[in-house]
Amino acid sequence: MAKRWLIRITACLALSLVALGAYGEQQQRAGNYVIHYSAIGTRFLAPEVAEDYGIQRSAGLGLVNVSVREYRDDGTIRPVNAEVKGQVGLLEKAPDTLDFRTVRDDGAVYQLATFRLEHDAPMHFSLKVRADRNAEPDTVSFIQRFYLER
**Is residue 6 scored above 80 in pLDDT?**
no
Q: Is the pLDDT of residue 18 over 80?
A: no
Q: At 9, is the pLDDT very low, low, confident or very high (cuts 50, 70, 90)?
A: very low
In the predicted structure, residue 1 carries a pLDDT above the cut 70: no
If you average pLDDT over residues 16-28, what whole number do you get?
Answer: 57
Half-sphere exposure of residue 83, counting CA atoms within 13 Å on the CB side? Answer: 7
Closest CA to 37 of 117, 134, 137, 144: 144
Reported pTM: 0.80
DSSP codes joined into one string, 72-128? -TTS-EEEE--EEEEEEEETTSPPEEE--EEEEETTEEEEEEEEE--BT-EEEEEEE
> Which candidate, 19, 30, 121, places its Cα nearest to that of 84?
30
d(CA 119, CA 66): 23
- Over residues 65-91, the pLDDT tens digits come to 999 999 999 999 999 999 999 999 997
pLDDT of residue 45: 93
Specify the pLDDT at position 91.
Answer: 78
- Note the pLDDT tens digit of each residue in 89-143: 997 888 999 999 999 988 899 999 999 998 888 999 999 999 999 999 999 999 9
